[in-house]
Each structure stands twice: as structure tokens, then as C-alpha cells.
Chain A
Amino acid sequence: MLTLFVLLPIIIASFLALLTRGREKYTGPLVLGGSLLTSAMVIYASVSSYGAIQQSKWFGILGYNVHITTQLLPLNVILAVLIAIITPLIMFYSMGYIDNPTERPRFFFEMGLFAASMLLFSISGNFIAMFIAWEMLGITSYLLIGFWYNKKNPPFAARKSISTIIIGDFAMLAGILAIWASYHSFSFATILSMPVEPVLPIAMLLILIAAFTKSAQFPFHEWLADAMEGPTPVSAFLHSSTMVKAGVFLVLVLFPLFVKAGLTELILAIGIISALLGASNAISSHHIKKILAYSTIEDLGLMFIAIGLHAIIAAVLFFIVQAFYKALLFMSAGSIMRANSEEEDIYKIYGSYKRKLLYVPMLIGVLSIAGIFPLSGFFGKAAIDFAALSNIYVYIILAVIDFATSAYIFRWLFLHSRPAPKSHTDNYSKIPRSMLYSGAITSVLVLAAAIAFFYISGFLSSYNYTASLAITISEAVIESIIVIFGILASYYIFKVRKPTGAIHTNAYYILFNSVIVNSAYLYISKAFVYFAEGINLIDEMIYGFFASGSNGILLMSGKLRKIVTGDSNEYLIAFVAGIVLIILLLLV
């Protein structure tokens, strides 16, 4: 079977979704059905054409053939199956979440295309297929973040995300062209097997920049927090298995090239900075979803740290487990916001313990992200920590991050599970069923994901990575102690002292540095504006030149029009004149 065919059901379903206007109750089930069919096909393809690399010719001109290549190597299978599992869950969740019927066709259309482009990305085997998927991801995420385009904030958030991502797109295109110019191939397999060319470090640096923009790493990380303006299913999708994972996945697939280009130290450094920034903002943010968003930036930073330490297997393991618990936490956050009339400030949200079907799965997610044994998050983090044992500085930083993670995630839990004051009204009983059930199913997957630890090494054995996956008892104990301290600190500050709002100390401003980063963005863009105004002065002179030229063209066009008079005699004269003209031409 051609692997590309797995995309068909979901693409067809999303286009059909546009036609369901007027019968909106069928939209959700239609796209859910399409995504389930796609998932089944992905799993079938992963078994039947495992390890296959397939080329399909797209077009060819003058001997240059451009192919769309797909591959199902172990890494591709992992991401594709991850998407295949999470997409139907998110679609199921969205069926309850999007309660305005007129929005449904558009929402499911965009979600379906988004899922399809991520799936294409996961199975792409050359830069052409990858770049198509990369651009489709950018466009569909822009549409989804700005989904509520007539509200105040979403258009700005969408614009911020697309302007950050476009930087990466250009870097990516430049990198691909640089690679093509010296390797004359787009295929990953070919490029990976060829000797190093001098252009490689620059090309890989450009591709790395692209990966950092998609995966929201410093200094391109702020768009991810702003992207919370989109609907919650989008956030859950964006942060778990799609979009932000694209950058990490690209680096994983091309890892040997990054090693050859000598960029792993850079990856490690950026990973550390991003993880620290993410953790500090997550501790201090007040926005129920932004806390989780900063936590994602931290998680992605951890993955890049693992890649920078050459601990690929640990990175892949964390890549898998993070997808499940982050999807679960976003689903829960969406349900809590729904029950508190879409309130976003976590200090104004109360009583999440009231609905057991919401609270218990959420607790599993929280324990997992904090890193409690034997939940999946524990294995993911411990594996990265173990890889860092060789470098004591990195290890200490990771310990700080682990402490912060357990502190902020329990702060998140403690704050929104406070008992409600009398003036506050909430309706936890009115959360749509599909939102709760999909969360519950995901929590089962979070529990099950711990198994990945035992099988991942065998699955990836064909790659011959030097660092193997291991966790020692002593290391596990240290890790657990750090986590418990984090929980205790959080318990003391947010449960015992019961703060009611922001604590504006100096430490707060250092931790909540997203304001600083955003104003830095503003200064950079202002600098560009000044630069552009300077260019504009020159441009106006050039424009004057062209304006007079085009006025001339319009004038000429008016004159030319007069040739056509509607008189047949003149047309015949023109006919004869034309013949004479060609004769003269050939004589000359």
C-alpha cells in the first residue's frame, strides 16, 4: 500500500465537513470517523510497510524529477502512531467543546487538515514532502489560533505565531536549497549516507533555526504562550503530538547530520535556556492555559537537552510520554474553564475537585508531569537526568527544573481546586460528556505510556546510538526526593498560606520574564520599522521612476485601444499590413 494513502480519509472527511453546513450535528462524527479510519490505516501501514521508503513522482521537467518520498522507519512510526492515537481523542473532545453549531464545519475542516499535515510530516522521507507539511502546519495553525477572529486577542496571537514561524520557514527553505546545491538530493536517506560537504554546518544551522521556531525555543518561544487564545482542543493538539513536536522530530531524524555539523552544544545550550525560561514563567503565570504552555516550552527544552547530550533514546521516550500527559492536562484545563464560564485567571477559578470524572484523570496527569514513580513522566525525566550524570552542571540545572516542575504543576492543581467562595458560581455538572470521556481515555494512555520505557531501546536498536537508556536506583531516589520537595514547597505556599492574587515581589518579575521577552520583540520590530522607513525614502524615489513608467503604459494602453474601432475594413487593412510586416521582418 502506498503510505501516502493514509492521509486520504481524514482529508476527504475534512472537506466533507465544509458541506455539512445546516446539518452540523453530523460534522463532528464525520471527522472523527475519518480520523479513526486514518488511524487504523496508519497502524496497518506501520506493520505492513515497516521500514519501507517509497518514492512517488510529483513532476519532472527536463530530466529533473521531484519526488514525494515517504518512509516508515522506527522514528516515523513512533510519531505517526502517536498522532494516530491522539487525533481521534482530540476530535472527540472537540465534539463537546465547540458548542456553537455554526462554527463546527470550519473548525473541523481546519483541525482535519492540521492533523493531516502533521501526519504527512511524520511520514515524510525527503525535504519536499517535509516542506509541504511544514508549510501546511504553519498555515493551518495560523487559522486555528485565530479561529475566533472577531474577538479581540486571537488575531494578534495568530499574527504573532505566523510571523515567528515564517522566520523559520525562510531559514528552512534556505537550508534545503543549500543542501540541495551540494548534495543534489532531497532524500533524507541519501543525504544521511553521504560524506560531509563544507556547506553542511551552515545548512544545518538554518534548519535548526527553523526547528527552534516551530518547537518554540528561545528566542522564538513567546508565540506558543500567546497561541493559548485559540480554542482549547487546538492547544491540546498543538502541544502534545503536533506542531511543536515537528521541530524536535526534525532534529531527531537528521541527528547524525547535526553531529557532523558540530551543532549539538548549541542545541544543548538553547535547550537549557528555554527550559529555564519555561519553568520560571510557568511558576509565575496567572493564566490557567499559559502555565501549561510555558511548561511545554520547558518540556521541549528538556528534549533538546537530551538531544544535545546525545541521549537520543531518552529524548524519544520523553517525546512519547509528554504527548499524552500534556494532551490530558489541556483537556482538563478546557473542561475547568468551561465550568467556570471560560474564566482564564487561575486565581478566579475554584472547585475543580467537584467532578470526579474530571479530577481523577487530571490528578494522574499532574502526578505524571511532576515525575512520581511509576507514572510515565517519571521514566521520561529520570532517563534524561541519568544521561546528564556525565556533566554535573547540566545535572544541577535539570534538578532545579525538576523541582520547579513539580512546584508549578501542584500550584496549578492547588489553585483551581480551592473550595469556591459563596459569591462564585460554577457548573461542573454541565461539562459536555465527550470532554470528560476523552480526558479519561487519555489518562489511561498516560498510565500505559510507562511501558514505552521497557520497549523503546529495542525498537530503536537499528540506529546504533551510543547512549543507552538506563535508570539506577539511587538516581531514581534522588529524583523522587526533588519532586517531593517541590510538592511540599508548593503545598506550603499555595495551600497553607492561601494567596488570593499575584504576589508582586522582585522575584516575581524575574520569574515572569515573558514581559521582558515580549518588549524585546517589540524593540526588535521597531528597529526594523525604522530601518524600513529609511529604505522607504529610497524606495519612493524608485517608485517615482516606476510610477511615471506605468503612467506611460496606461497612456499607451489607451492609445492602443483606439486601434480596435469595430470597422471591418480596417481589420482587413491590418491583416494585409500584418503580412507585409512579417515579410519585412524576414527580409531584414
Chain B
Amino acid sequence: MPIITNFAIPTLLVLLIVSGLGSVLYKNKRLSFGINSALFAIMLSFGLYYSATGASFNVFSLYHIYPFSSFAIILFSVSMLLVNFAAYSLDKSYVKFGMLLPIISIGAFSVAMASSLLTIIISIEIMTIPTILLIAMCGKAFAEPATKLFLLSAISIATLAFSIALIFPYDSTLSIAQASSGTLGSQYFMVLSLILLVASLGTEAALFPFDLWIPDVYQGSPNAISPMLAGINKKVAFIALIEISFIVFAGMKHDIVSIFEVLAVLTMFFGNLVALVQKNVKRMFAYSSISQAGYILVGLASVSAFGLEASLFQIFAHSIMIIGAFVIVGFLAMEGLNTLEDYKGLSHKNRFSSFSLAIIMLSMAGIPGLIGFVGKFLLFSSAISSGLIALAFIGIINSFISIYYYGKLISNIYSGTPHKAISIPRSVFVVMLAVVIIIIALGIYPAPLMAIASRASVSLFGII
């Protein structure tokens, strides 16, 4: 058993690299798609197994696997599977995805399992650079989003490195678990380090005011890549933010609460209010994903095991929902539907995609019986249980505002006159079906995901 636990994860990561290289050498679209999907599925099963057994062990003093990282592995492997399926038919040549998706996933999985601050920096780089490359490889038209992403991620990494450099002198270690031991109070440099950390990871995690580039890049990116940006890259930043700020800065709970509280309010209002006036559907979803980052912050702001559980639940839920939404929107954009006006009469063109888009949006708006409702319910009740009643109230107001633009799109979809039918490619259909099933199943019976998230959050607070 110890051999399996020690070598399974490194072996899988090596296999992912091999798969990535192999897809360049052999250029067999179907084969590399199959191998990648299989590897992600194996990763998912390992994540589920580790989470169920509550495994906790070190791998080569590089990775530390415990229920929190098992949760992140589950999250990333499910989203990677969905993105992989979507990319298969949303992009003409799958080869570049076949090469770069495994490498991006290595970065994501490494952030999930990182045991040292250095690992986190390097893993984020491993993930970001192939993403920029992937966007740039899609053609000259995508130079702008690629450049923007490059610029912002460079600054974000630099800031992160600076932030870590500031706390390094205090305890002379880069290990996440040990770095926390020396942090006793709100030292001047510690506060600055925390702020730089929030700024650097907030850039990728779409927190106001570090998120202004998000709509441009999400909208401008190729249709196959925006689901990944919103569903994986953003969540990686969140996982890193949670891990560093809750463990390393555990002694500064007070500061964390006030920063996250203010950022949550600003982010929710910014995302929702700007989404109200958007004409382009893809851009609207970009803003909606900003507002969802604000909801996730509501749970983090309470800095409690229950709040973290709620946030992790919402991170998973939003990852699934936004991937589904961007996949459908991207597929429809390829058919020439871009603005809210274009979506009129969509239900006549394609019943299933309109149904699943409606379900996704109802879930994002927080209609009971769907996963988004459970997430918001947990978030707001966690805020109330830790005394942040004003924050919960503002969150609920924002939910109301968001119903306006989701409802407008749904009413557009289900109005209008009959049109020529559109047929969906099979792999997009699979993604839609999977997303709808997950949204409804976990909306009615959320207990399994809540159990995984709860184990994760308890284990994270156990480290402190």
C-alpha cells in the first residue's frame, strides 16, 4: 500500500507529460483525446479514493496529500474531463489541446497537492504559460487576449513571489505547514505580504479591482478555452489563495476577515451590476463569473470550517456551471449567435441546448432544487452563523439582481418564432448532459459533495 500511495501520483503526472508529448508526435486526434480522458478519469478515481479514506501523507517532501487536496484533485479532474470533451469538438485541430491540456492539468494538480510555497509558484507558472500558449496558437486574432493574459499573469506571479519573499525571513522555511508556526501577530510586513498575496491571486481569481481584464480575455479567447479559464485557472487561484491565506496567515484572522468581506461586497456588486447592461452573452457570463467569485468570498470571509465548506461547495458548483455555460455559448457562437438578440427563439433551434442553458442559469441564480441554490444557501448561512449578517444580506440582494439578467436571457431563449434547427456535436452533447445531471442530482441530494467538502475544510483547519 505505501508504494502505491507514494508512486501513484508521480506516475500519473509523468504519464500526463508522456501523453502530452505523444499527441505531438503521433498527431492522432482520437487517440490522444482518449488517453487524456482516461488519465483524468484515473486521477478522479484517485481523488475520490483519497477523500473517502481520508488519506494524509507526503510524497517526496514535494506534495502533501490530505482531504483538502483530494477535494481539489476531484474538482480539477472533473473540470478537466469536461473541458477535454468540449475542446474535442469546439476546436478544429485537437492536437494542441492534446499536448497542452495534460501540462495545464499537471500545474493544477500540483497546486492542489503543494506542500511548499515554492511548489505553488512553480505550479501556477506551469499552468499559466501553456494557457497563454494555447490561446496564442489559435491564430492571430487571439494575440490580444494572449498578450493581456501574459501581462497580468506575469505581474501576478511577480507579486506572489514578492509576497512570499516578505514572510520568508520570519521563519526561514518555504513549507506551508511550517511557515505558519512563526506567524504570531499582525506584524507590519506580514500585513503587506497578505495584501500582496490577495492582490496576486485575486488577479486570476477575479476579485475586484484586480479583475478588470477578465471580461476582455474570457470574451476574446477561443471558444474552447474560455470554459477552461473560468472553470479551472480561476479555481486554481482560489485553491492557492485558500491554502496560503488560511494556513500561513492563520494568526491574522482579523485582517483576512476584513479584506475578504470588503472584496466580496465589491466583487459581487461589480460583477452583477455590469452584467445587467451587457449585450454579448459570452461577456455577460464573464461578468457573472466575477460575481460568483464574490459569492465564494462570502464563505471565505467567515474564516470557519463551515464557511470554507460552503465556499468549496460553491467552487465546485460554479466550476461545473460555468464550464457548461461557456461550452454552450461557445458552440452557439460558432453558429453565429453572439448577442442577447441573437438568442431569441433558440428553443426552436435546439431544444436541448436551450434547456440546459436555462437550467445552468437558474442554478446560477439560485433556484431551489439545483446545485447553485445549495451553494448559496450554505454560503449565506455560514455568513450568518459567524455573525456577518450584513454580508449575507448583501449577497441575497445580489442574487436578486442577478435574476434580472439571467431571466432576460431565459425569456429571450423561450420567445421568438420558429427557426431552422441546429444540430449539436456529440461531445458537446455529452458535456451538456453531464453538467445538467450533476446540477440536478447534487441539487436534490447534495450530501455526498457536502461530505467531501466538509472533510476537506476540517482537514485544512486541522493543519493550523
Contact = CB atoms under 8 A, between A and B. Distances in A.
B212 A585 contact: no
Contacts of A558: 277
| A-B CB proximity, top 10 nearest | A578-B209, A557-B273, A557-B276, A571-B212, A574-B209, A571-B213, A582-B195, A579-B199, A557-B277, A561-B274
Interface in A549-584: 553-554, 556-558, 560-561, 563-564, 566, 568, 570-572, 574-575, 577-579, 581-583
Interface string B346-386: 00000000000000000000000000001000100100010
Interface stretch (B40-48, B293-301, B442-450): B442-450
Interface in B223-258: 255, 258
Contact of A583 (B195, B212, B278): B195
B287 to A, nearest CB: 9
Interface stretch (A58-66, A100-108, A196-204): A58-66
B386 to A, nearest CB: 11
Contacts, number: 85
A570 B212 CA distance: 9
B327 interface: no
Given A61-B381, A575-B155, A585-B262, 20 more contacts: A58-B445, A58-B447, A59-B450, A61-B378, A62-B381, A62-B385, A553-B401, A554-B277, A556-B273, A563-B212, A564-B212, A564-B216, A568-B147, A568-B152, A571-B148, A574-B209, A578-B199, A579-B195, A579-B199, A586-B255
Contact of A581 (B209, B215, B255, B273): B209
Contacts of A570: 212
A59 B273 contact: no
A57 interface: yes
A59 B446 contact: yes
Interface string B180-214: 00000000000110011011001100001110110
Interface residues of B, number: 41
A21 to B, nearest CB: 11
Nearest to B385: A62
Nearest to B156: A575
Given A571-B152, A586-B255, A57 B447 contact: yes
Nearest to B378: A61
Nearest to B377: A61
A568 B209 contact: no
Contacts of A60: 447, 450
Nearest to B215: A564
A560 B270 contact: yes
Centre residue among A60, A554, A582 by max chain B CB count within 10 A = A582
Interface string B133-162: 000000000000001100110010000000
Contacts of B209: 574-575, 577-578, 581
B231 to A, nearest CB: 22
A568 B445 CA distance: 44
A62 B309 CA distance: 11
A445 B441 CA distance: 40
Given A554-B276, A560-B270, A577-B209, A582 B198 contact: yes
B273 A553 contact: yes
B14 interface: no
A585 B450 CA distance: 34
Contacts of B258: 585-586
Nearest to B147: A568
A557 B274 contact: yes
B334 interface: no
Interface in B91-141: none
B259 interface: yes
Nearest to B446: A59
Contacts of A583: 192, 195
Residue from A62, A558, A568 with most neighbouring chain B CB atoms (10 Å)? A568
A60 B445 CA distance: 11
Contacts of B210: 574-575, 578
B159 to A, nearest CB: 8
Given A59-B446, A61-B378, A574-B212, A560 B195 contact: no
Nearest to B203: A575
A406 to B, nearest CB: 49
B148 A568 contact: yes
Contacts of B273: 553, 556-557, 560
Interface string A397-441: 000000000000000000000000000000000000000000000
